[in-house]
Amino acid sequence: MNKKQCTAAAKLIEILKNQGVECIFGLPGGNAIPIFDALAQSDMKLVLTRHEQGATHMADGYARSSGKPGVVLVTSGPGATNTLTGVMTAMMDSVPMVVLCGQQLTTNLGLDTFQEADVSGMSYPIVKHSFLVKDPEELPSIVNQAFHIASTGRPGPVIIDLPKNVTSAYIDEDTSGEFSLPGYTIRKEGSPDAIKEAAAMISKAEKPVLMVGHGAVISGASSEIKAIVEKMQIPVCNTLLGKGCFPESHELNLGMPGMHGTAYANMALCESDLIVSIGARWDDRIAGSPSDFLPQAKKIHIDIDPVEINKTVQVDCAIVGDARSVLDSLYGYLEKGNTQRWVKLIKRLKREYPLKYKKEGKLRAQHVIEEMSRLTGGEAIVTTDVGQHQMWAAQFFKTESSRNFLSSGGAGTMGFGFPAAIGAQMANPGKTVVAVVGDGGFQMTLPELSTAVNEKLPIKILLINNNYLGMVRQWQHMFYENRLSGVDLVGNPDFMKLATAYGMKGFRVKRSADVRKVLSAALEYNDGPCIIDAEVEKYDNVFPMVPSGAGLDKMLLTMPRKKLDKPKGGT
Amino acid sequence: MSDSQKKHNISLFVENKPGVTIRIALVFARRGYNIESFVGSPTQDPNYSRINIEATGDSRTLHLMLEQLNRLVDVIHAREYSDEDVIQKELALIKVRCDNETRTEILQIASAFKCRNVDISDTTMTFQVTGKSSKIDAVRKMLDKFGVLEVVRTGKVLIARGEEETSW
Ligand SMILES: Cc1ncc(C[n+]2csc(CCOP(=O)(O)OP(=O)(O)O)c2C)c(N)n1
Ligand SMILES: [Mg+2]
């Protein structure tokens, strides 16, 4: 008796549903048609994007805001290569994503046939893992493996290359999706000895600081962190990707340290005697020069990925494990020390060195962002693009809970912010989503305006329009005697007219006095996306700034009069 | 010898799947670590392979790379061995120039090192040498003055002693 059969593509969609996938972001092409055909015969939601890079950032924003893997579906060759920037972006920030790529027939691989590209080969350095499915019978197992790998341990992107003859082949409906991955193990619980050692170090410390990173967000360690802070009275700073895991309005929160961090976070780290990284990888944006990063402080590192331990900064105590599980066990061993004087100093630093900008004169980006933060009261999901506006958003958008601030940190991918907001809004239909973008980066993925309009997503695109690739202009101004090279965005479109062209709402704000009125109006508009074109001061620079490669004690609070040396670190 | 010139033996137990070799090689290439030799073959269970790599570089980077290798989904275990920990063998074929005058001396050297003579012609002799890599280096050095025409080496293979399982 013949068993019931279906195409491998139909099976693929069924497995996606079983994996809890609600929507797929993508764009079709010849070698993906069998999959799109199966999609059409299912009730799976497809968000049709205008470019494959956009699809990846949408899936990324979906994943970062929900904790569930984002799914992308594209065709072979150029469709697949267009996803690579987004895949790398997800890899750098440990974002769970599954990218399904159509592929030429298995018999055509390696022969330079039409739209054939060695996508799995290209992907190796920028994925957590990748698969090429050659046997349709293996498809169910491989898809399940991909979701398991993408979403467990340290999450990351997984690419599955799906040849057209594989997806159109018929397989038994009950083909097994089981798998074993002997080379893939996750250490969830930390070593008890290391945890006790860390507890003793924390209990003894007089000037400890917690540094909360993306790992803490991913593991859902918010309440464990809060419990420790409350019991031990330890101040907390958060990395760009750790924003919100511990509420930024808390009196012991120091905001973000590092290159454009708050002065008080950097000063506190310079004074501290113990830094506890909770899922933060001592990125060079914070550590500057990792080989001599704050030698006065002992360091504890909690990370689920053993590769991160001692990768750049040498630590005194390492705990490999899931942040939440580790903190949960750690709590029991902590003995309340005396941090009263330390906390007093922290509060004084916060009072004496607040983030500052001029409210008079030309409209300031900081003003617009701070007002948006105030009006949304910690309830909005904020995505950012990359540049000055990103750093101002990090400084001025007070984030109160995990998964509410989404930014491309490790990769710094311009073009990320707006499509990521689409993904975040898809995952969180009821929430206010604000995309803080620059006039440069926004133009890299703005064709997705069609996508947002089609889906009627009420995203507020807060465009910090300074007519410059501002962050690069700032570096040229500060370190290259203001020789501006390739940063003037002459020929920017009229963004109000652009909004009209896409059939969406546009707002414009030019004067400080109008900020609240215009932002309130935009927040009240919910019939679809809107652009808020904020024409801000062109020549403003982000401060504080620690020149790249320098120690945190070299922080500049304002533009110094004397000439600055070229920074030693990378970009 | 400076730390960055140190040779390391790395032994991996991996899934026998397409692409494994590239993924492993990329870990070395990305940090500019040079691979001296690379030997891989299926184990007693054809689903798995063992790979032995000899590479030169500093110990700190090596430690990082071992973790990065272990992080690869297809790599089940990766570890370093020092020469003392394991049985370590290599095979080499060495072709050397000879004539009537030098032939006897060459044969004497070869027999002292227990080399097998696998080919002989009017003007050349080829030997098979097995043993520790250092022994192969020594033979080669002794034969150099006669004119070594070609050296082909398999690269190191390792196996753990006694009950211990290799690359675990
Ligand atoms: C894809 C990409 N290309 C180039 C860069 C380098 N880069 C970093 S910030 C920046 C300027 C961004 O300009 P804009 O989007 O207008 O933001 P602003 O800094 O003006 O706020 C550039 C070019 C990058 N991060 N990503
Ligand atoms: Mg700009």
Q: What is the 3-state secondary structure (H, E, C) of A366-385?
A: HHHHHHHHHHHCCCCEEEEC
Inter-chain CB proximity A182 and B68 less than 8 Å: no
What are the mean pLDDT values of chain A's consecutive 10-residue runs (571 residues total)?
89 98 98 98 98 98 98 98 98 98 97 95 96 98 98 98 98 97 94 98 98 98 98 98 98 97 98 98 92 95 97 97 98 96 98 92 96 96 98 98 98 98 98 98 98 98 98 96 97 98 98 97 98 97 94 93 86 75
Last residue of a domain, one of A318, A352, A386: A352
pLDDT at B1: 56
Q: CA A405, A410, A415 angle in degrees (round to 5)?
A: 70
Distance of alpha carbon A323 from alpha carbon A215, whole angstroms? 7
Q: Which A residues 102-141 touch B at CB under 8 Å?
A: 120-121, 124-125, 128-130, 132
Residues 6+ apart with CB under 8 A from A471: A386, A387, A388, A391, A542
Q: Looking at CA atoms only, how far is residue B15 from chain A in angstroms?
A: 8
What is the dotted CATH code of the domain comprising B87-157?
A: 3.30.70.1150
- A186 within some domain: no
Look at residue A298 and give its three-state secondary structure: strand
pLDDT at B7: 86
Q: What is the DSSP string of B9-74?
A: EEEEEEE--TTHHHHHHHHHHHTTPEEEEEEEEE-SSTTEEEEEEEEES-HHHHHHHHHHHHHSTT
Residue A197 CB burial class (10 angstroms; 0-12, 13-18, ≥19): middle
pLDDT at A1: 54
- The H or E element that residue A354 is part of is none
pLDDT at A161: 98
Return the residue matching tokens 């709590």.
A331
Among this protein's residues, is A115 annotated catalytic?
yes
pLDDT at A562: 85
Q: CA A508, A512, A517 angle in degrees (round to 5)?
A: 60
Is the same domain home to A430 and A528?
A: yes
- A511 within some domain: yes
Amino acid residing at A472 = V
- A550 within some domain: no
Distance of alpha carbon A309 from alpha carbon A301, whole angstroms? 7
3-state helix, strand, coil in chain B (%, to 5): 30, 40, 30
Is the same domain home to A39 and A163?
A: yes
- A546 within some domain: no
pLDDT at A399: 97
- A182 within some domain: no
pLDDT at A175: 96
A468 Cβ closer than 6 Å to some ligand 1 atom: yes
Is the same domain home to A80 and A134?
A: yes
pLDDT at B3: 75
Q: Facing residues of A155 across strands?
A: none
Is the same domain home to A314 and A403?
A: no
Q: What is the pLDDT of residues A364-409, one digit of tens each?
A: 999 999 999 999 999 999 999 999 999 999 999 999 999 999 999 9
Is the same domain home to A346 and A377?
A: no
Distance of alpha carbon A413 from alpha carbon A61, whole angstroms? 13
Q: B90 φ, ψ to 5°?
A: -150, 150
Q: What is the 3-state secondary structure (H, E, C) of A475-541?
A: HHHHHCCCCCCCCECCCCCCHHHHHHHCCCEEEEECCHHHHHHHHHHHHHCCCCCEEEEEECCCCCC
For A77, the token pair is: 């060759």
Is the same domain home to A151 and A225?
A: no
**What is the location of CATH 3.30.70.1150 in chain B?**
87-157
Q: In chain A, how many domains are there?
A: 3
Amino acid residing at A375 = L
In ligand 1, the atom with minimum distance to the C-alpha of A474 is 19
Task: Please give the CATH superfamily to which domain B3-81 belongs.
Answer: ACT domain (3.30.70.260)
pLDDT at A354: 97
Q: Looking at CA atoms only, how far is residue A92 from chain B in angstroms?
A: 15
A440 Cβ closer than 6 Å to some ligand 1 atom: yes
pLDDT at A394: 98
- A571 within some domain: no
Ranges in chain B, pLDDT < 50:
none
| Mutation site for B-interface testing, chosen from A181, A304, A307 by largest number of B Cβ within 10 Å | A307
Distance of alpha carbon B160 from alpha carbon A173, whole angstroms? 46
A309 to chain B, any CB pair closer than 8 A? The answer is yes
Rounded to two decimals, what is the model's pTM? 0.96
Chain B residues whose beta carbon lies within 8 Å of the beta carbon of residue A120: 19
User: Is the CB of residue B143 less than 8 Å from the CB of residue B96?
Assistant: yes
A412 Cβ closer than 6 Å to some ligand 1 atom: yes
- The H or E element that residue A358 is part of is none
- Alpha-carbon distance values, B127 to B120, B140, B153, B155 (Å): 9, 10, 12, 16
Inter-chain CB proximity B23 and A124 less than 8 Å: yes
In ligand 1, the atom with minimum distance to the C-alpha of A413 is 26
- A251 within some domain: yes
A149: containing domain: 5-172
Is the same domain home to A341 and A313?
A: yes
Residues 6+ apart with CB under 8 A from A560: none
CATH number at residue A461: 3.40.50.970
**What is the location of CATH 3.30.70.260 in chain B?**
3-81
pLDDT at B5: 78
A389 Cβ closer than 6 Å to some ligand 1 atom: yes
Among this protein's residues, is A4 annotated catalytic?
no
pLDDT at B4: 76
Q: What is the 3-state secondary structure (H, E, C) of A86-119?
A: HHHHHHHCCCCEEEEEEECCHHHCCCCCCCCCCH
In ligand 1, the atom with minimum distance to the C-alpha of A443 is 15
CATH number at residue A199: 3.40.50.1220
pLDDT at A23: 97
pLDDT at A374: 98
Inter-chain CB proximity A183 and B23 less than 8 Å: no
User: Is the CB of residue A426 less than 8 Å from the CB of residue A47?
Assistant: yes
For A141, the token pair is: 């197992």
Give how far the C-alpha of residue A279 lies from the chain's centroid of Cα atoms, to the nearest Å.
14
DSSP tag of A565: P
pLDDT at A24: 98
Is the same domain home to A440 and A385?
A: yes
Contacts 24+ apart (CB under 8 A), B39-42: B39/B154, B39/B155, B39/B156, B39/B157, B42/B16
Chain A residues whose beta carbon lies within 8 Å of the beta carbon of residue B15: 182-183
pLDDT at A231: 97
pLDDT at A257: 97
Q: B93 φ, ψ to 5°?
A: -115, 125
Nearest CA in chain B to A150: B73
Look at residue B149 and give its three-state secondary structure: strand
Is the same domain home to A145 and A220?
A: no
- A180 within some domain: no
Is the same domain home to A158 and A40?
A: yes
Among this protein's residues, is A471 annotated catalytic?
yes
Is the same domain home to A276 and A381?
A: no
Residues 6+ apart with CB under 8 A from B141: none
